[in-house]
Amino acid sequence: METISWQFVSLVTLAGPPPGAGQDISIMKLIADASPVVKGVLALLVMMSLISWYIIAFKAIALKRANRESELFLEAFWQSKQLDQIYQTSEKLQRSPISQVFRAGYIELTKLRTGARAGETMHGQLGDLENIERALSRAQNSERVHLEAMVPWLATTASAAPFVGLFGTVWGIMSSFVNIAAKGDATLLTVAPGIAEALVATAIGLVAAIPAVIFYNHFVSKARVLESDMENFSNDFLNIVKRHFFK
């Protein structure tokens, strides 16, 4: 009995490991061996991810500057009593959406005051206050578009990347089963590399989508705060104009 056991061990040792055992199935190897369609899907996902990270870095810096300069402008606005001085301050704070709204309202108010000095009475001009309100509204809309620029790409990446990755996974699994059917071998060593290759696409799709959805919600929240501040400032500016220029 002992002799038979030693003979069996010797045969296994001489035969070596089963075909495919110990083969390299690292992530880079799987990507290198992927089909052209899967490689195309992976390239698209990487491109979407790189663009998303560029937008994330750009918007993070832009919104931080907009918040900081808006705080500086509001502080200067409420401390100063002269609109001319506030306008000069706003020229130094170009990245503040609130300062841009003020500039639009101030320019329209200056036009009306110039018209009044030319012989027209302020009370006699129809729609003067409405003109200032429209100028403020146009500036708000322009700044809102600027604040939300490029952010929709993050929403697109967050919603589309998982499905693009899923397409690559489905295609890879289909190719794996076609190869299995052609070889007539359905062992784990034959199936595992193809399935792992297919799942890489889904993994990269999630890697692209998760940061995009997180920062999309973050940027939208920051933009809404600034939009609310612009709306509040417009109302305050209109009240000041009513009290001092439309008595």
Distance, CA of 113 to CA of 232 (rounded, Å): 24
What is the end-to-end Cα distance of the chain in Å, rounded? 115
State pLDDT tens for residues 207-247.
999 999 999 999 999 999 999 999 999 999 988 888 876 66
The values of phi and psi at residue 70, to 5°, are -65, -40
- Exposed, middle or buried by CB within 10 Å (0-12, 13-18, 19+), for 111? middle
Token duo for residue 30: 């799987």
Distance, CA of 103 to CA of 171 (rounded, Å): 56
Residue 11: what pLDDT?
36
pTM: 0.77
Residue 115: what pLDDT?
61
Percent of the residues in the chain that have a pLDDT greater than 90, as a whole number: 42
- Domain-located, residue 6: no
Distance, CA of 50 to CA of 58 (rounded, Å): 12
- Domain-located, residue 3: no
Residue 102: what pLDDT?
92
- Please give the average per-residue pLDDT across 45-50, as a whole number: 94
**Residues comprising the chain, all counted:** 247
Where helices occur in 80-187 by DSSP H, the ranges are 83-92, 97-117, 128-147, 151-183
State pLDDT tens for residues 70-110.
999 999 999 887 888 888 888 898 899 999 999 999 888 88
Distance, CA of 160 to CA of 147 (rounded, Å): 23
Residue 31: what pLDDT?
65
- Domain-located, residue 146: yes
State pLDDT tens for residues 121-173.
545 544 677 888 889 999 999 999 999 999 999 999 999 999 998 888 888 78
- Domain-located, residue 10: no
Distance, CA of 64 to CA of 222 (rounded, Å): 9
- Domain-located, residue 69: yes
- Domain-located, residue 34: no
- Domain-located, residue 95: yes
Write out the residue range of the structural domain in which residue 144 sits: 44-245
- Domain-located, residue 5: no
Residue 53: what pLDDT?
96
- The radius of gyration of the chain's CA atoms, rounded to the nearest angstrom, is 33
The tally of domains found in the chain comes to: 1
